[in-house]
Amino acid sequence: LRDVNVEVARVTGAHALEVRVWERGSGETLACGTGATAAAYVFAYDGKVSFPVSVKLPGGVLTVEYIDGRVYASGNVQLNYIGELNISDYG
């Protein structure tokens, strides 16, 4: 599965999921907000969990809510890396 992005999720409670993320080119990552939000929505749509959904990832917890037809994700953030990129090295 090295050429795809994969998220594996399991229900851990009525309002809770646990998710692991594998991203092509990076390997396992600490989190993916888009994927975690999609997982929460799909599990809720299938009736496996109810909103708000607490999604536990290796990098922390994301809370996903569905309000008035919109999906909202919230959680803590932290700076993990600072670097420099010389754009001329890439064409």
17 has a pLDDT exceeding 90 = yes
CA distances from 91 to 25, 83, 85, 86, 87 (A): 20, 19, 12, 10, 7
pLDDT per residue as tens digits for the range 43-84? 999 999 999 999 999 999 999 999 999 999 999 988 888 999
What DSSP line would sit under 7-34, residue for residue? EEEEEEETTEEEEEEEETTTEEES--HH
User: Class of the 6-90 domain?
Assistant: alpha beta
Structural domain spans, the chain: 6-90
**Rounded-to-integer distance, Cα 91 and Cα 6, Å:** 30
Quick check: 71 and 35 in contact, CB under 8 A?
A: no
For position 52, what pLDDT does the model report? 99
